[in-house]
Amino acid sequence: MTETTQREGDNAVRRSVLPGGLRIVTESLPAVRSAAIGIWASVGSRDEDLDHAGATHYLEHLLFKGTSKRTALEISAAMDAVGGELNAFTGKEYTCYYARILDADLPLAIDVLADMVTGSLIEPKDVDAERGVILEEIAMNEDEPSDTVHEAFAAQLYGDTPLGRPILGTVASINEITREQITDHYAARYTPPDLVVAVAGNVDHDSVYSFASQLSDSGMWATYIGCLPAKADEVLAICQEEIAKVISGGLTDAELDRGKGQLRGSLVLGLEDPSSRMSRLGKSELVYSRLEPVDEILASIEAVTHDDVRRVAADILGRPKVLAVVGPFDDDAPFAAALG
Q: List the CATH number of the domain containing 265.
A: 3.30.830.10
Round the average pLDDT of the chain to a whole number and report it. Answer: 89
pLDDT band at 10 (very low <50, low <70, confident <90, very high): low
Question: What per-residue confidence (pLDDT) applies to 200?
Answer: 94
Are 46 and 123 part of one and the same domain? yes
Q: Where does a domain end: 155, 173, 201?
A: 201
> Which candidate, 310, 183, 333, 304, places its Cα nearest to that of 246?
310
Q: Indicate if 74 belongs to the active site.
A: no
Same-domain check for residues 169 and 64: yes
**173 and 238, same structural domain?**
no
Number of folded domains that form the chain: 2
Q: Which of 201, 219, 241 marks a domain boundary? A: 201
Q: What does residue 97 show for φ and ψ, rounded to 5 degrees?
A: -115, 125
Residue 105 has pLDDT above 90, yes or no: no
Whether 330 and 253 map to the same domain: the answer is yes
Give yes or no for residue 226 having a pLDDT over 80: no
Strands annotated E in 145-301: 195-201, 208-214, 219-225
Kindly state whether residues 105 and 133 are assigned to the same domain. Answer: yes
Q: How confident is the model at residue 203 (pLDDT cuts 50, 70, 90)?
A: confident
Which of 176, 201, 226 marks a domain boundary? Answer: 201
Handedness of CA 222, 226, 229, 231 (dihedral sign): negative
DSSP strands (E only) in the chain: 2-8, 11-17, 23-28, 34-41, 85-90, 95-102, 195-201, 208-214, 219-225
pLDDT over 80 (residue 265) = no
Residues 290 and 272 in one domain: yes
Kindly report the number of other CB atoms within 10 A of residue 92's CB atom.
15
Whether residue 3 has pLDDT greater than 80? no
Mean pLDDT computed over 229-250: 87
- Check whether residue 192 and residue 95 sit in a common domain: yes
Residues 260 and 317 in one domain: yes
Residue 250 and residue 311 in contact, taking contact as beta carbons nearer than 8 Å: no
Domain that holds residue 266: 208-338
Whether 275 and 165 map to the same domain: the answer is no
92 and 140, same domain (yes or no): yes
Does residue 86 register a pLDDT over 80? yes
More confident position, 286 or 71: 71
Please, which pLDDT band fits residue 340 given cuts at 50, 70 and 90?
A: low
Whether residue 61 contacts residue 186, with contact meaning beta carbons closer than 8 Å, is answered with no
Sorted by sequence, the CB contacts under 8 Å of residue 2 that are 6+ apart come out as 16, 17
Strand pairing of 95-102 and 195-201? unpaired
Percent of the chain with pLDDT over 70: 98
Rounded to an integer, the average pLDDT of 31-36 is 85
**Which entry of 3, 27, 60, 296 is annotated as an active-site residue?**
60
Could you count the other beta carbons within 10 Å of the beta carbon of residue 124? 10
Q: What is the pLDDT of residue 270?
A: 72
Average pLDDT of span 316-338: 84
**CA distance to 115, 118, 193, 215, 287, per residue, from 187 (Å):** 15, 9, 13, 48, 52
For residue 218, pLDDT beyond 80: yes
